[in-house]
Every structure is written in C-alpha cells, then in structure tokens.
Chain A
Amino acid sequence: MELKMKNLTKEFGGFTAVDHLNFTMENGVYGLLGVNGAGKTTLMKMLCTLLSPTGGEITCNGREILGMGADYRKILGYLPQDFGFYPEFTVQDYLSYIAAIKGLRPAVARKRVRELIEKTGLTKAAKKKMKKLSGGMKRRAGIAQAMLNNPKILILDEPTAGLDPNERIRFRNLISELAEDRLVLLSTHIVSDVEYIANQILLMRDGKIVLAGEARELIDSMEEGVFSVFVRKNEVQHFMKKYKVSNLKSMHDGVELRIIAKSPPVLDAGLVDANLEDVFLYYFGEKAGGKDAVV
C-alpha cells in the first residue's frame, strides 16, 4: 500500500489550508502532529475523498484516488474528528448500518460487528442507544465503525481528543493492536499520543509537513539543547519570557524548569535528554496539548 501526495493543495477562498504538500506513506502508523488550524483535518478529508484538492493529487498505488471511487473507499476506514452518528440507533444497529453502506454482505457484517463490539469493549453497551454512550464509548464505536471493512488505509482524526487519561491509554493500546498490516494515519495535538504508537511522526504547520521521521530522528534534528534549571519562584516569569520552557515542576523551595536553548541559560544548568515534547515546542514555538501532555 502506497499513498502518495503530490503538490497537494486545498484553498478555502483565499486561505490555503493545505499547501503544496508532498509526502509518501506506506504501511505503518503515522502520527500527524500539529496545533489547531495546522490543516490536519483538511488533509485527512482529502485523503478520504470528502474534499477535492484545489491543486495537486493523491494517488494510491499509482492511481488517483478520486478516479478510483468505490475501489478506493472499499479499502478506507475513517474516524472523523467530529464524529456524528444516528442518536436513536443502538450501537449494534449503527455498526450494522455502516457495515451495509460499506458493502459488507449480511453474514460477514454480522460476524464483523460482533467481533468489533467485543474488541472495542462495547459488549455491554451493544444494545444501548448511541446517544446514551459516554464520550469514550462513542469514540470506541467510532473506531469500530472505521474498522468494519478491515481497511488497508485507516485514518483517525484526533481519536483521543476529549478522553480522560485512562480512556486515552486504553484507546492507544486499541489502535496499536489494530495497526498491523495497514497504513494508519492518526492526527493529534497531543505529543504523548504519537510518542507511543506512531513509527513515523509528521509535524504539520500552516498546511505543510515541516518535518517527518521517527521520534529519535526528530529529536536529533533539534539544533538546540534541553536544559534542566532550578530557579526561585520569583524568577520564573523572567525565564518564561526569555526562553522556550517546555515544562515546569514546582518544588517546595523553587521551580524546576525545562528550557530549550542553544547554550546553557545559567551556569549550573544540566543538559538532559530531549523528548518529543521538546521537539514540538522547538518547532512550533508553543506548548503541545497543555494538561494532556502529562499522560
């Protein structure tokens, strides 16, 4: 499976949401990381043939995906960011319906729905109406839906957004489990999500993929170091203004700051190992995911 984007561009009016993007993906898990508005959803909608590009093209094993039509949709699974459903349907009904529009034969559909309900831990909720599900359960129904046709290409738009820490961990594990032998692209603005499951990380900003590679490569690509600095409480403001601070930890007699800089900000600063969190801050100039990043 090879998904290739060539000069892929999407403009809304005068605004360019995806900007001459060139990238090729093969089987594996790709984590698309970017702040809100970076163009992740727009890119994914184009990959799902829901939006047509204003420029460039997407090919799947050499064939243009819009031209492939149903042949392409057949191998596609998509969990949208704003995942909507039919509120009065039970989980079972919902999945059976999606199985039908995905073209599964009834016997296959029944088996597949049963399997996925089990796999996503929705067995107890199978007869519950979709509108009665908790946020996490809805998301699980969403991923079950995406997996129904056993897609070769699985696209998950912010699959962990809005989940509590426990749900998020379970969700990551589920995705890892499902990721075998496919091309999975998942977007997030939470660094720790991709840190654990993605083999390849794509950093997206202003409609462009500014950097791509494995976590290690991304970390090594930083041209600045990460320093651990211990400061007094009244000095924190000063440091926050002057440096990129990727983390701060309060202690009883001061604050430990994690600072990204070319050279040690203070004499007794200790050089520490950089992580993806730092990479994110380094490239985007702002912190990723706030509280979520702790997980």
Chain B
Amino acid sequence: MLWFELKKIWSKPMNKAAFLLLAAVVFAGSLLAARDVVYYREDGSKISGFAAARRLKREKNAWKGYVTEDVLKKVVEENKRARAESDTEDGALIKRQGFSDIRDWINSGFSEPGDYDYYMCDSISAEEAAALYEKRLEMIKKEISSPGYSKKEQKFLTRKYAKFKAPLYYEYAEGWKALLDSQYLPTLMTITIVIIGFLVSGIFSSEFQLGADSVFFSANYGRNRAVQAKIEACFLVITAVYWGAMVIFSVLVLGILGFQGAGLMIQTDYANWDCMYNLTYAQKWLLTMFGGYAAHLFILFLALLVSAKSRSVVVAVTIPFALSCAPMFLGRVPGLTKAMNLFPDMLLRISAFLRDNIIYEIGGKVFGVYEMLIPVYLLLALLLLPVLYAGYRRSELA
C-alpha cells in the first residue's frame, strides 16, 4: 500500500516537474552560495568559488591554531603593515585576506554594539587588541544588564556566555560559513517546504477529487491500514526529499569550498561574535537541519490535516506557502514581532537568526527560542498524526 501511495505521487507529471525544479534549485543554490566566496589577486582582479577557496585556504590556514594574545597582537601589526605597504585601502585588503577574519573579530569586539566599524582594527594598539576576549565579555555584560532584560533572563544569558571558551581556535572554514551564515539555506528551506507541500498535497485530498473515495473507504483497509499507509507515505516523502535536498546542498557547497572547519566555533565568523550559543559549525549544521525538519513536519502535516478535512488540494499547497513566507512580512509589523518569533517558519531560518539571541521567559523559565521551538513543534507535529488519522478514517461521503 505504501508503495502504491508513493507511486500515486510519482506518477503525476506535475510532481515530476516539481521534483526536477527542486533539483535545479539545489544545484543552482549551491553554485550561488559558493560564488559568494571571493579572493582578490595581487593585481586586484577578483576570483570566486572553487578557485577562490583554494587560495583562501592557503592564506587562512597560515593563521591556523588558537588565537591567543600573541596572535591578536600579530594581527594588529600585520594589519598596520598591510596598510603601510599599500597605496590604497583596496591594496591593503588584498594583503589582509589571510587574517581578515581575525581582523573582523577585533572590529566587532571593539565597536559599539550594532555599530560595526570596519577601521577599528586600524586605530587600535596591539596591547589593546590582546584583551579582545575580555572586551567581548565586558560588552556582553553591559548589554545583559540593560533594563530590557529581566533578572531571570540575565541569569540565563550569563550562564550561556560563561560557557564560552577563550582563546578561539581558528582555521579556514569558508565552506561552513557559506553554508550556514548566508541567506541561501533559509531560502532553500522555504522552497523545499513549498515543493514538498505540492508533492504530498494530493495524498489525502485527491481521493475525493478523483472520486476514488467510494472504492477506497469501502475497502477492507480503507478506514485503517490504508489511511496509515498514506500517513507513512507523507512522512517518507517529507523526510526523504527534505534530507535529500539538504544533504546534497551541503555536500555540494562544502565540496566546492572545502569541508575544513567543521570543529570551529561559530563565533569565528564575526557575524556570530555575540552569539550566545556556543556551537561548532558541525553542531550548528545539525541544529539548523533538525530545526528545519521539525518545521517541515509540523507545517506539512498541518497542511495535510486541513486539506484532508477540506478535501482541497489547493489548501495543501497554500498553507506551507503562507506559513513559510507570510511571517517574513508580518514580522515587520511593530507589535507583532515578538509573536512572530514563535512561528514555525523561525525554524526554517535558524542559520540566519541564531545570532539574534532571541529568548523567551515562559512560566518563570527562560528559553532560547530554538531550544523551545524545536521540541514544541516536533511534539505538535507528532500530535497532528493521530488527529489526521482519526479524522480521515471517519470521512463520510456526500
């Protein structure tokens, strides 16, 4: 039965087209993500993608190791020398490519929060820079003690930040950064959810649409195991297509740019400098992927539930679209932002929003938004299954 449910999906020409579209998006997306990694040659010309990754790997790995006080001092000195040896800012940029990441930490560390100053490193002394990790803690403490946070939230954040271990280990990790710190992954997840929604849209509703319902529900298993097979088919398609797309995308991006850097802390990208989650890139990948999976399960099973009730294919297609895209716009409406942060689409954007340190205090306990959303939506998705089963098997035919 399960096999035939899958065959029903696959046999539809439109579904084959949707599947090919997804494959094309995954390939194009990985190429675009890789192309964002750039390297400037001596003569100022720019190269990107695989070629850039090869050069950057060599230059950045020269700085491989723990970034201790001595290393920080050396970066400030090298930074000054690069500027002195070049006629222009652009010329300096070419010479700084090997340590530009660490230079960015210093910029982030010493700029006022939310006011990143690209030239901060140029105006700082080596001695000052050596205190980078202390400076980070100091900035964070100041931020935490602002009146925006409750006592419990302050305690929660302090505990999180205390787990950060200095000095940071550094090496080349452009592959992981392109994969996990760019907009491509959230966009891809939005596309996969819509396409999977399209693929599974007919599993429950098309029995009615095609008029095949009478035969289905009057069959021996029509009100038990055949319904179960439908749920299994949905689960299988969601799981296989989601993980397939994600793993292929990740392997393509990392294949082009390099797998190196999986064990690096995410704070090694200055965009994550203030992130409260102390994770390595490999851990962030897992978190992002499982979060996305939870969102897919919840949103898609919700869509299936509503489409099974309404007997409409259109509903099954529009719900994933609405739930994954609309909050992006609604979130900008003041007053709605806080609530929107709890919407399941947040789980599609973990890679982009993790650094925002969104926390919630619920029932006297403080949670990072993702620590809460992933289990909650997984649980909700799980609870939808018996509702879907019970509702569908009792269908009456008008």
Contacts and interface: CB of A to CB of B under 8 A. Distances in A.
> Are these two chains actual partners, yes or no?
yes
Interface of A: 45, 48-52, 69-70, 73-74, 76, 78, 80, 82-89, 93, 96-98, 100-103, 145, 149
B226 interface: yes
Closest 3 CB pairs of A and B: A84-B211, A88-B11, A80-B214
A85 B216 CA distance: 10
A74 B213 contact: no
Interface in B346-371: none
B4 A50 contact: no
A86 B215 contact: no
Interface string B205-235: 0000011111111111111111000000000
Given A86-B210, A101-B220, A102-B221, 14 more contacts: A45-B214, A48-B218, A49-B217, A50-B214, A50-B396, A51-B396, A69-B223, A83-B211, A83-B215, A93-B4, A100-B4, A100-B221, A101-B219, A103-B220
Nearest to B10: A88
Nearest to A70: B220
A101 B226 contact: yes
A87 B256 CA distance: 43
A88 B16 CA distance: 12
5 contacts: A73-B219, A84-B211, A85-B215, A100-B226, A101-B221
A80 B212 CA distance: 9
Contacts of B214: 45, 48, 50, 78, 80, 82-84
Majority secondary structure of chain A interface residues (helix, strand, loop or mixed): loop
B216 A101 contact: yes
B397 interface: yes
Contacts of B212: 84-86
Nearest to A86: B8
Q: Which of B214, B216, B219, B396 has the most CB of A within 10 A?
A: B219
B382 interface: no
A257 to B, nearest CB: 42
Nearest to B207: A84
Contacts of A102: 219-221
Interface string B175-217: 0000000000000000000000000000000000011111111
B1 interface: yes
B152 interface: no
Contacts of A45: 214, 397
Nearest to B209: A84
A294 B215 CA distance: 32
Contacts of B220: 70, 73-74, 101-103, 149
A80 B219 CA distance: 12
B58 interface: no
A182 B44 CA distance: 88
Given A80-B215, A93-B4, A101-B1, A87 B221 contact: no
B12 interface: yes
Contacts of B11: 86, 88-89
A101 B223 CA distance: 10
Contacts of B225: 101, 103
A81 B398 CA distance: 13
